[in-house]
């Protein structure tokens, strides 16, 4: 049985932008997709998810629209804006540089 891991603030924006870039999603769907894609290792709880969504929307990197979800309820769907796509690319470059540096240190140590 795999153990889920809570995410650190610095990675939350990157992961949300990456997941929403493929298609608009509502909050619960974003959290479920992340958990699924990470084979149940990464978990994005509501106390981190919704403030991050609001922050990304405030920065203009996401736009939100109320729609009816697959279960018939109204839900706020988030989509990446052009500015959000640019931000995602910067975040991905930064993540690749950081993860490469960490790999170097952990492999040498």
In this structure, is the dihedral angle defined by the CA atoms of residues 8, 9, 11 and 16, taken in order, positive or negative?
positive
Q: What is the pLDDT of residue 101?
A: 93
CATH architecture for the domain at 5-108:
Orthogonal Bundle (1.10)
Q: What is the pLDDT of residue 5?
A: 54
In tens digits, the chain (109 residues) has pLDDT values of 345 555 666 689 999 999 999 999 999 999 999 999 999 999 989 999 999 999 999 999 999 999 999 889 999 999 999 999 999 999 999 999 999 999 999 998 6
pTM recorded for the entire structure:
0.87
Residue 55 vs residues 6, 14, 44, 61, 84: alpha-carbon distances, Å: 19, 12, 15, 9, 12
Region for residue 71 given its phi and psi (left: phi exceeds 0; alpha: psi -120 to 50; beta: otherwise): alpha
- Taking the CA atoms of residue 71, residue 74, residue 75 and residue 77 in that order, the dihedral angle to the nearest 10 degrees is 100
Q: What is the pLDDT of residue 1?
A: 39
**Tens digit of pLDDT for each residue in 49-71?**
999 999 999 999 999 999 999 88
Spans of all domains in the chain = 5-108
């Amino acid at each position: 049985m795999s153990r889920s891991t809570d995410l650190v603030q610095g990675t939350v924006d990157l992961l949300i932008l990456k997941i929403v870039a493929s298609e608009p999603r509502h909050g619960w769907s974003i959290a479920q997709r992340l958990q699924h894609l990470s084979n149940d290792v990464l978990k994005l709880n509501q106390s981190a998810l919704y403030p991050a969504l609001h922050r990304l929307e405030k920065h203009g990197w996401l736009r939100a629209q109320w729609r009816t979800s697959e279960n018939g309820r109204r839900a706020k769907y988030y989509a990446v804006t052009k500015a959000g796509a640019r931000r995602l690319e910067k975040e991905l470059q930064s993540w690749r540089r950081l993860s490469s540096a960490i790999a170097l240190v952990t492999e040498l140590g």
